[in-house]
């Protein structure tokens, strides 16, 4: 069935009002994209920081309505709901229906990270050359971030794979701080960790992580929590793939989660943003290293005793 798609551009501050109005007049779905994507890399949103829900400064907002919806009546209803907004910027077009998630998954292929770690979509087979000891995460990311295709996630997956190769994951506990789809927690479990904990401020991310754990047969070894409900204590292995600003703001909290002698990886950092974070985390961690992939950086180190 086709749909009528409404598209408009708005600022971050206006976005909630526009979305409320669209919901009120019966939008079937509302999506947001960075209106300036490709023009300013530093504002890319990967995963929201724990406790915050950032958006882009300039947003393209799209809403789907039933194919037989009357565009003029919709505009009149929107204007009536919130006359203070500029509805003159709206455009309409007819779009054909398709299974968007499946269309995306059809282009998503098995990916290898390090020696053993494989991220494989549900509709694909593991390559024949993967090896009998492959640590396989079958992932259907859905609405949450984290499919392994972005350098920030790739950097963390290779770090976990390296820890496993050194025998540092066997039987240990892992904290995935800002878990998104749960990809890092799942990879750690598949690589030998005994238990993983995921923390995220987004309920959809927590649900996606729990669902992916169930599908991968590790639900009994993974727990998910909102920041306010997270268990106390420390973990031998902690990974935080969020944003540089959140890593800076939450440095005390993140450092306090790493056990003495434990290992930490930080990602979601643009190349050029690492210096202040190295100084910040140097208060607690030794041997801080930087690995760069493209425009992105991972920092890792060992917690002092």
DSSP 264-302: EEEEEEETTSHHHHHHHHTTTEEEEEEEEETTEEEEEEE
Residues tagged in the binding site annotation for S-adenosyl-L-methionine: 153, 178, 200, 241
β strands within 140-250, DSSP E: 173-177, 195-199, 222-225, 235-241
Arithmetic mean of pLDDT over the chain: 86
Residue 144 has pLDDT above 50, yes or no: no
Ranges of each domain in the chain: 3-97, 145-303
Would the CA dihedral through 185, 189, 192, 193 be positive or negative? positive
Q: What is the mean pLDDT of residues 161-190?
A: 96
pLDDT digits (tens, 9 = 90+) for 191-209: 999 999 999 988 888 988 9
Residue 219 has pLDDT above 50, yes or no: yes
Closest by alpha carbon to 241, among 157, 117, 116, 119? 157
DSSP string, 10-74: EETTTHHHHHHHHHHTT-SEEEEEETTTTT-GGG--SSPPTT-----SEEEEEEEEETT--HHHH
pLDDT at 209: 92
pLDDT at 34: 72
State how far the Cα of 238 lies from the Cα of 292, in Å rounded to an integer.
19
Which has more pLDDT, 135 or 122? 135
Residue 46 has pLDDT above 50, yes or no: no
pLDDT-based confidence at residue 123 (cuts at 50, 70, 90): confident
Which has more pLDDT, 86 or 233? 233
Residues tagged in the binding site annotation: 153, 178, 200, 241
The CATH number of the domain covering residues in 3-97: 3.30.70.120
pLDDT at 49: 43
pLDDT-based confidence at residue 268 (cuts at 50, 70, 90): confident
Would the CA dihedral through 297, 117, 182, 250 be positive or negative? negative
Closest by alpha carbon to 116, among 141, 136, 145? 136
State how far the Cα of 162 lies from the Cα of 73, in Å rounded to an integer.
58
Closest by alpha carbon to 241, among 195, 174, 286? 174
* Tokens at 156, concatenated: 């963390």
pLDDT-based confidence at residue 55 (cuts at 50, 70, 90): low
Q: Report DSSP state, residue 233.
A: S
pLDDT digits (tens, 9 = 90+) for 67-81: 889 888 899 899 989
pLDDT digits (tens, 9 = 90+) for 2-31: 788 899 999 888 888 998 999 999 998 888
- Secondary-structure class of domain 145-303 per CATH: alpha beta
Q: What is the mean pLDDT of residues 148-158?
A: 85
State how far the Cα of 195 lies from the Cα of 90, in Å rounded to an integer.
49
pLDDT at 31: 82
* Tokens at 140, concatenated: 């259907």
Say what the pTM is: 0.69
Indicate the range of 233-242, 255-264, 292-301 predicted with least confidence: 292-301
Of all helices (H) and strands (E), which one includes residue 162?
helix 151-165
256: which strand partners? none
pLDDT-based confidence at residue 106 (cuts at 50, 70, 90): low
Q: How many CA atoms lie within 13 A of 140 on its CB side?
A: 16
pLDDT at 286: 97
pLDDT-based confidence at residue 157 (cuts at 50, 70, 90): very high
238: which strand partners? 175, 264
State how far the Cα of 236 lies from the Cα of 303, in Å rounded to an integer.
9
Indicate the range of 85-94, 216-225, 289-298 predicted with least confidence: 85-94
Which has more pLDDT, 94 or 144? 94
Closest by alpha carbon to 27, among 9, 56, 11, 4? 4
């Amino acid at each position: 069935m086709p749909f009528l798609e409404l598209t408009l551009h708005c600022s971050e501050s206006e976005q909630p009002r526009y979305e409320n109005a669209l919901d009120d007049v019966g939008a079937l779905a509302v999506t947001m994209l960075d209106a300036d994507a490709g023009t300013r890399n530093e504002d890319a949103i990967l995963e929201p920081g724990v406790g915050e829900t950032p958006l882009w400064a300039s947003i393209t907002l799209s809403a789907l309505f039933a194919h037989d919806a009357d565009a003029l009546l919709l505009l009149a209803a929107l204007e009536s709901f919130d006359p203070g907004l500029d509805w003159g910027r709206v455009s309409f077009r007819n779009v054909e229906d398709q299974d968007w998630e499946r269309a995306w998954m059809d282009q998503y292929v098995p990916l290898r990270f390090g020696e053993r770690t494989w991220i494989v979509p549900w509709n694909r087979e593991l390559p024949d050359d993967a090896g009998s000891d492959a640590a396989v995460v079958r992932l259907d990311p859905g609405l949450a971030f984290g499919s392994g295709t972005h350098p920030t996630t790739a950097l963390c997956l290779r770090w976990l794979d390296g820890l496993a190769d050194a025998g540092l994951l066997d039987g240990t506990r892992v904290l995935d701080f800002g878990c998104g789809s749960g990809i890092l927690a799942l990879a750690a479990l598949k690589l030998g960790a005994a238990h993983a904990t995921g923390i995220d401020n987004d309920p959809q991310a927590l649900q996606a992580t729990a669902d992916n754990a169930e599908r991968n047969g590790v639900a009994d070894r993974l727990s998910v929590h909102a920041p306010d409900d997270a268990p106390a204590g420390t973990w031998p292995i902690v990974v935080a793939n969020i944003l540089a600003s959140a890593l800076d703001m939450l440095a005390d909290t993140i450092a306090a989660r790493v056990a003495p002698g434990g290992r930490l990886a930080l990602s979601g950092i643009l190349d050029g943003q690492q210096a202040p974070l190295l100084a910040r985390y140097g208060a607690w961690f030794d041997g801080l290293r930087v690995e760069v992939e493209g425009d992105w950086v991972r920092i890792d180190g060992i917690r002092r005793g």
